[in-house]
Chains A and B, each alone.
Chain A
Amino acid sequence: MARRLTLEGCDVKLVCEVMPYSAGLNRNMTQCLENFHIPLKLSATVTEIHGQERVEGVTIAAVDAARRPVPGTEEFIECDTLLLSVGLIPETEVTSGTGIHMDPVTKGPSVNQRMETSVPGIFACGNTVHVHDLVDFVTNSSLLAGACAAEYAAAYAAGAGQPDTGVQACSSTVSIPVRPGDRVRYTVPQQIDIDGAFKARIESAKAAPAGETGVPDVQIMFRSTDVYRSVTLAVYSGSTKIYAKKARIVRPGEMQTADIPAAALAGVAAPLTVSIETPEDTID
């Protein structure tokens, strides 16, 4: 918006961000703010709006670690327009009232690796599950959910006449919760359901010749709680590390992914924890 308003002829004086970091993409900070010489003030917020018929100015102040305005840091900024960016949360119009389990952190429904919610046969994808960074990722999410929903519908139709328990509810399905660990805000999916077919795939992947990298079967998406550099993104089953990837920098505004090959899930029974480990962490 700052860039668009500038291109359309406005003089954007300032972007004020209450957090100590920007939740936006690095690309946007450069191409929308820096390139147009629009200052970005972090850990600051608007405390007062002045004017009657029209905005005449705002007062901004620095905020402390608890995001409270710090007295004595107030500054008056003359302006005639204030744009408020109040954040994005998943639309829940359809899910509310269905009894679908909602994740209190993402504010969207909890899903498994097939984008299926806690109610068998109801799938969710895109920004209704969690807010994505790029529309391309929303599209990928929808492709996955669509394919899985189609599979479910076909299996359901083939099993027509069976008790209405749905494909996921058979007793041989093992549900593995996926939880956010250190420095991770949330994960999607929130659980991995391993039914008979998936178990067979895992076992054959494990038996595959050494050196053959398994096609990632489960992609865990997650966000960091803060900006961290030189970290390892790790997935543990209980205390066993089943996945690790180094990253130079992680930001809350840039979603991370852990692509877990099927073979890595062999024998997994304990809940999975996704963590971000910094160089200061003890090495076991």
Chain B
Amino acid sequence: MGCQLEVTAVQNADGNPEFSVTGNACSRGVQYAQKELTDPTRTLTCTVAVTGGTRRLVAAKSRSEVPRDLQIECMQIIRRLSVQAPVHTGDVLCEDILNTGADIIACDDVDAE
């Protein structure tokens, strides 16, 4: 399952790396490899505290991907968040976290008590 990608990086005339990718079964592999090596990002999944709700936590995630190496710092912020019930799937719990352009949104509903 998955492809074993082999990537060779060569510095081109502008001093920027150019990547040659092999082992991919489709074109997505080429884009994925280039992105992983230049600007790796991840969808961040987490939970956010809820006040006044039937549950204490709501499952949440970043709507778009955040830089891989910013995940821990994003979590430090998310850990201090608290939202008031009711919460609905898709509600923005934190807008544009750490200027990444990604909103943290609720993945579930939580009713008010």
A, B assembled together: yes
Question: CB within 8 Å of B: which residues of A?
Answer: 6-9, 25-27, 31, 35, 133-134, 248-249, 254-255
- Across chains A and B, which 3 residue pairs bring their CB atoms closest together, nearest first? A254-B1, A7-B75, A248-B4
> With a CB–CB cut-off of 8 A, which chain B residues contact A248?
4, 23
Cα–Cα distance between A253 and B79 once the two chains are bound (Å): 33
Which residue of B has the minimal Cβ distance to A31? B42
Q: Does B30 contact A (CB under 8 A)?
A: no
Q: Are B4 and A35 in contact (CB under 8 A)?
A: no
From A8, A27, A134, A249, residue with most partner B Cβ within 10 Å: A8
Given A248-B23, A249-B4, 11 other A-B contacts at CB below 8 A?
A7-B44, A7-B71, A8-B79, A9-B75, A9-B79, A25-B2, A27-B2, A31-B42, A133-B1, A248-B4, A254-B1
* CB atoms of B2 and A7 under 8 A apart: no
Q: Which residue of A lies closest to B44 (CB)?
A: A7
* Complex A-B: 7 CB contacts under 8 Å: A7-B75, A8-B79, A9-B75, A25-B2, A26-B2, A248-B23, A254-B2
Taking A27-B2, A248-B4 as contacts, is the C-beta distance between A35 and B68 under 8 angstroms?
Answer: yes
Write the nearest CB–CB distance from A224 to chain B, whole angstroms.
12
**Does B26 lie at the interface of the complex (its beta carbon under 8 Å from any beta carbon of A)?**
no
Q: A7-B46, A8-B75, A9-B75 are in contact. Are A25 and B68 (CB under 8 A)?
A: no
Shortest Cβ distance from A109 into chain B, in angstroms?
25
Residues of A within 8 A of B23 (CB): 248
A254–B79 alpha-carbon span in the complex (Å): 34
Establish whether residues A6 and B1, one from each chain, have CB atoms under 8 Å apart when the complex forms.
no
Q: Does B13 contact A (CB under 8 A)?
A: no
Q: How far is the CA of A98 from the CA of B76 in the complex (A)?
A: 51
Shortest A256–chain B CB gap in Å is: 9
CA distance A249 to B42 in the complex (A): 26
Q: How far is the CB of A72 from chain B (nearest CB, A)?
A: 37
Task: Identify which of residues 3-29 in chain B touch chain A, using a CB-to-CB cut-off of 8 Å.
Answer: 4, 23
Interface residues of B in 56-72 (CB under 8 A from A): 68, 71-72
Provide the residues of chain A in CB contact with B46, threshold 8 Å.
7
Q: Tell me how far the C-beta of B58 lies from the nearest C-beta in chain A, rounded to whole angstroms.
A: 15
Nearest-Cβ distance from residue B48 to partner chain A, whole angstroms:
13
Report yes or no: B68 in contact with A7, Cβ–Cβ below 8 A.
Answer: no
Q: Which residues of A contact B71 (CB under 8 A)?
A: 7
| CB closest residue in chain A, given B40 | A35
- Across the interface, which residues of A come within 8 angstroms of B40, CB to CB? 35
Q: Please, which residues of chain B bring their CB within 8 A of the CB of A6?
A: 72
| Candidates A8, A25, A31, A35; contact of B1 at CB < 8 Å | A25
Considering only CB atoms, which chain B residue lies closest to A6 in the complex? B72
Residues B70-99 near A (CB distance < 8 A):
71-72, 75-76, 79
The residues of B that contact A134 with a CB separation of less than 8 Å are 1
Report A-chain residues with C-beta under 8 Å of the C-beta of B72. 6-7
For residue B36, give the distance in angstroms from its CB to the closest CB of chain A: 9
Do B75 and A255 touch across chains, with their CB atoms under 8 A apart? Answer: no
Whole-angstrom distance from the CB of A137 to the nearest CB of chain B?
9
Q: Bound state CA distance, A133 and B4, in angstroms?
A: 17
A133 CA to B2 CA in the complex, in Å? 12
